[in-house]
Chains A and B, each alone.
Chain A
Amino acid sequence: MSSPLLTVSGVSKRFGGVQALSDVALHISAGQIHGLIGPNGAGKTTFFNVITGLVPSDQGRFELAGSPYKPSAVHKVAQAGIARTFQNIRLFADMSALDNVRVGRHVRTKVGWWQALLRTKAFTHEEGTITRDAQALLDFVGLSGKAHQAAHTLSYGDQRRLEIARALATEPKLLALDEPAAGMNATEKLQLRELIERIRAQGKAVLLIEHDVKLVMGLCDQVTVLDQGKRIAHGLPADVQCDPGVITAYLGSCKPTH
Chain B
Amino acid sequence: MNKNRLLPFLISAVALAVLPLLLQGVGEAWVRIVDTALLYILLALGLNIVVGFAGLLDLGYIAFYAVGAYLFALLGSPHLSENIPALAALFPQGLHTPIWLAIPLGAGVAALAGVLLGAPTLKLRGDYLAIVTLGFGEIIRVFMNNLDAPINITNGPKGINSIDAIHVGGMSLGEPWHVLGLTLPPVTLHYYLFLAVVVVAVVMCLRLHDSRLGRAWMAIREDEIAAKAMGLNTRNLKLLAFGLGASFGGVAGVLFASFQGFVSPESFSLQESVMVVAMVVLGGLGHIPGVILGAFLLAALPEVLRHVAGPLQAMTGGRLDAAILRQLLVALAMIGIMLLRPRGLWPSPRHEDRLMPDDTAGGRA
Q: Are these two chains actual partners, yes or no?
A: yes
Please, could you name 22 A-B residue pairs with CB atoms under 8 Å apart, sorted by A?
A84-B229, A91-B223, A92-B218, A92-B222, A94-B350, A95-B218, A99-B215, A103-B232, A106-B216, A111-B212, A116-B212, A116-B214, A117-B204, A117-B207, A127-B211, A130-B212, A153-B355, A153-B363, A154-B361, A154-B364, A155-B364, A156-B364
Q: A126-B212, A148-B356 known; A78 and B231 CB under 8 Å? A: yes
B241 to chain A, nearest CB (A): 10
Cβ-defined partner of A106 (8 Å) among B207, B230, B355: B230
How large, as a class, is the contact surface on chain A?
35 or more
Asked if B277 is at the interface (CB within 8 A of a chain A CB), the reply is no
Contact with A along B262-291 (1 / 0, CB 8 A): 000000000000000000000000000000
- Return the chain B residue nearest A84 by Cβ: B229
A78 to B231, CA, bound (A): 5
Q: A113-B244, A146-B359 known; A54 and B232 CB under 8 Å? A: no
The answer to whether B211 touches A113, judged by C-beta atoms less than 8 angstroms apart, is yes
Asked if B306 is at the interface (CB within 8 A of a chain A CB), the reply is no
Cβ-defined partner of B359 (8 Å) among A95, A145, A167, A170: A145
How large, as a class, is the contact surface on chain B?
35 or more
The answer to whether B359 touches A54, judged by C-beta atoms less than 8 angstroms apart, is no
- Return the chain A residue nearest B234 by Cβ: A75
Residues 80-114 of A at the B interface (beta carbon under 8 Å): 83-84, 86, 90-96, 99, 102-107, 109, 111-113
Q: A107-B231, A146-B356, A149-B359 known; A90 and B212 CB under 8 Å? A: no
Q: Kindly list chain B residues whose C-beta atoms are within 8 Å of the C-beta of A149.
A: 351-352, 355-356, 359, 362
Contact with A along B332-358 (1 / 0, CB 8 A): 000000000000000000111011101
Residues 187-233 of B at the A interface (beta carbon under 8 Å): 204, 207-208, 211-216, 218-219, 222-223, 225-233
Q: Kindly list chain A residues whose C-beta atoms are within 8 Å of the C-beta of B134.
A: none
Asked if A70 is at the interface (CB within 8 A of a chain B CB), the reply is no
Residues of B within 8 A of A (CB): 204, 207-208, 211-216, 218-219, 222-223, 225-234, 240, 244, 350-352, 354-356, 358-359, 361-364
A24 to B137, CA, bound (A): 49
A37 to chain B, nearest CB (A): 22
Contacts between the two chains (Cβ within 8 Å), count? 134
A35 to B334, CA, bound (A): 54
Q: Kindly list chain A residues whose C-beta atoms are within 8 Å of the C-beta of B232.
A: 75, 103, 106-107
The answer to whether A145 touches B356, judged by C-beta atoms less than 8 angstroms apart, is yes
A95 to B227, CA, bound (A): 13
Asked if A74 is at the interface (CB within 8 A of a chain B CB), the reply is yes
A146 to B362, CA, bound (A): 10
Q: Kindly list chain A residues whose C-beta atoms are within 8 Å of the C-beta of B240.
A: 113
A92 to B229, CA, bound (A): 12
Q: A75-B234, A154-B361, A158-B361 known; A90 and B211 CB under 8 Å? A: no
The answer to whether B351 touches A90, judged by C-beta atoms less than 8 angstroms apart, is no
B336 to chain A, nearest CB (A): 25
Q: Kindly list chain A residues whose C-beta atoms are within 8 Å of the C-beta of B364.
A: 152-156, 159
Cβ-defined partner of A145 (8 Å) among B214, B230, B233, B358: B358
Residues of A within 8 A of B (CB): 52, 54, 73-75, 78-79, 83-84, 86, 90-96, 99, 102-107, 109, 111-113, 116-117, 119, 123, 126-127, 130, 145-146, 148-150, 152-156, 158-159, 166-167, 169-170
Cβ-defined partner of A52 (8 Å) among B229, B234, B351, B352: B229
Q: Kindly list chain A residues whose C-beta atoms are within 8 Å of the C-beta of B359.
A: 145-146, 149
A117 to B213, CA, bound (A): 10
Cβ-defined partner of B211 (8 Å) among A78, A91, A105, A116: A116
B318 to chain A, nearest CB (A): 49
- Return the chain A residue nearest B358 by Cβ: A145
- Return the chain A residue nearest B213 by Cβ: A113
Q: Kindly list chain B residues whose C-beta atoms are within 8 Å of the C-beta of A113.
A: 208, 211, 213, 240, 244
A119 to B204, CA, bound (A): 10
A44 to chain B, nearest CB (A): 17
A105 to B240, CA, bound (A): 19
A64 to chain B, nearest CB (A): 14
B45 to chain A, nearest CB (A): 14
